[in-house]
Amino acid sequence: MKKERQPNVSPASGEGTPLPGRVLGVYPQKQAGLYMQRVKVLGGRINWPQWRRIAELAETCCDGFPLHLTTRQDLELHNIRRQDVATVQQRLAEVGLTVFGACGDSVRNVTVCPGCEFCPGGLDVMPLAQLVRQAVDQEPVVFTLPRKFKISFSGCPKACAKPWLNDLGFIGQPGGRFIVIGAGSLGAKPALGIELYRDMSAGDVLPLCVAAVEMFEKHGDRQNRRRARFRHVRERLGDDVFREELERRFEQVRVRRSWPGITCGTGQSEVQLQCRLQSPDGNVTPAQAVRLADVAERHEATVRIDLEHGLVLYGPKPVPLPTDLAAWASGPTIVACPGSRTCPRGLTDCWATAAKIRERLATEKLSGVRISISGCPNGCAHSAAASIGLVGMLRKIDGTVAPHYQVLAGGGNGTNGTLATRQDVQRAEDIAAVIETLL
């Protein structure tokens, strides 16, 4: 018997009406009565007043629990009591931050490479991403999708926004054209996207996105959530039929109404990359967030949330950071989901594992290394596509259940079509030494 589809609503805690639907970014934590609120930040572009408001809410409504950066350039607030959820959402809206589509069966946050407008020779794709979000959010089908739908924009062939992990990924090319990758996703049985278009104009991006979302709404599986993503439609139809159906719908949508003429400007070099800060586990305490805003704003810096639990600062001059924040500018990039700390599905404590790895590698020069740690087979940290990936599991040793990790290696981190390959299963307590050996 097929599992009955669960409604897109967060359960209530105690008496009263249910919380707002997950499409408004609310998820229950494993701790009874506490919730996570995800905040959608288009392309990771957040201003300092918005950043300070998030820090304020983390301090006042989350008992000081750190604000959390996600791999889709969102922000998360954890440990929110049920009665405070509406207040948090209202306070976010006051500074122009939205929660619509942050979770649930909807079009999720549109991701954009953090510095495309400052990258000489690349395309400034942020204005196009803004138009895409406006267009898809106005489509009625956005409320009735079978599951989530993800879109990304990369300003150059480096593909920093990881197009192969998305339902639609656009890679900017010289001359203002795009390669389009589509129908990829990870999860317990990962499959990366495939090339859908080799040479698409910027003006065709909007109708293609609308056509793809409508096609997903029509053909997505509404009975089995494990087979409900856009790439499962591709697998069910076959690549050739999938491409033909998407092209047919694309042509219909393109002539259905007039679309704005769009050209993408090129990146400018007047503003320089000043530093990238890899926050431990994507967590920033409220006090750290405020100190960062104060010093960076004084030096006219702009902040971007990247796709790997980090922050990127751009500006006309260097930013003299406090010692604890300056330490984040070196060391390996470790992306770790909360795992068993807050997630009901988490099997391992990913943050504890990440801390041991950072300690073990503290003296190494590994700023280019990327390690992804997921607490369960869902692979939220993108372990299946990582250069080094860990996937949490439990194994019984001598009658005692103990945390382990499936080790993976060799993935392209979503910037190309290469998945990681499985290595050994190792005990969680041995992982730091295993990683050191792999490196």
C-alpha torsion 164→114→151→419, nearest 10: 20
- Is 86 contained in some domain? yes
Q: Judge if 323 and 249 occupy the same domain.
A: no
Looking at 329, 349, 367, which one is the last position of a domain? 329
User: How distant is the alpha carbon of residue 429 from its chain centre?
Assistant: 28
- Residue 5 has a pLDDT of 38
Stated as kind and residue range, the H or E segment containing 187 is none
pLDDT of residue 366: 64
Bridge-partner residues for 336, per DSSP?
Answer: 373
Domain that holds residue 216: 121-256
Residue ranges in 193-238 assigned as alpha helix (H): 205-219, 230-237
Residues comprising the chain, all counted = 439
| Residue 212 domain-assigned (yes or no) | yes
- For residue 20, what pLDDT is reported? 52
Assess whether 95 and 162 both reside in one domain: no
Same structural domain, 347 and 413: yes
pLDDT at 187: 86
Q: Identify whether 111 is part of a domain.
A: no
Q: Any idea what the Cα angle at residue 89 is, between residues 87 and 92, rounded to 5°?
A: 110
Domain termination residue (choose one: 309, 329, 349): 329
What letter does residue 138 receive in the DSSP assignment?
T
Q: Is residue 88 located within the same domain as residue 151?
A: no
Neighbours of 187 (CB within 10 A): 14
Q: What is the pLDDT of residue 263?
A: 87
Confirm whether 15 is domain-assigned: no
Do 297 and 343 lie in one domain? The reply is no
Judgement on whether residues 164 and 194 belong to the same structural domain of the protein: yes
CATH of the domain at 176: 3.30.413.10
Work out how many domains the chain is built from and give that number: 3
Is residue 315 assigned to a domain?
Answer: yes
C-alpha dist (Å) from residue 144 to 39, 46, 148: 21, 29, 10
- Report the pLDDT value the prediction gives residue 188, as an integer from 0 to 100: 85
Q: Same domain, yes or no, for 128 and 252?
A: yes
pLDDT in tens, 383-436: 999 999 999 999 998 889 999 999 999 999 999 999 999 999 999 999 999 998
Both 383 and 432 in a single domain? yes
Q: Which residues of the chain have pLDDT under 70?
A: 1-21, 363-368
Given a contact cutoff of 8 angstroms between Cβ atoms, the answer to whether 369 and 357 are in contact is no
Contact 213, 139 (CB under 8 A): yes
Q: Are residues 183 and 94 in the same domain?
A: no
- CATH code, domain with 100: 3.90.480.10
* 116 occurs within a structural domain: no
* Nearest partner of 164 among 117, 101, 231, judged by Cα: 231
For residue 12, is it within any domain?
no
Q: Are 265 and 120 in contact (CB under 8 A)?
A: no
**Maximum CA pair distance of the chain?**
67
State the pLDDT at residue 152.
98
Q: What is the DSSP string of 267-317?
A: B-SSSEEEEEEE-GGGEE-HHHHHHHHHHHHHTT-EEEE-SSSEEEEEESS
SS (H, E, C) 369-432: CEEEEECCCCCCCCHHHCCEEEEEEEEEECCEEEEEEEEEECCCCCCCCCCCEEEEEEEHHHHH
Same domain, 91 and 136: no
Q: Which of 196, 230, 256 is the last residue of a domain?
A: 256
Strands of the sheet containing 34-39, edge to edge, are 26-28, 34-39, 75-81, 67-69, 283-284
Residue 184 and residue 211 in one domain: yes
In the beta sheet, which residues pair with residue 403?
A: 394
Is 0.85 topped by the overall pTM?
yes
Same domain assignment for residues 346 and 384: yes
Question: Residue 44 domain-assigned?
Answer: yes
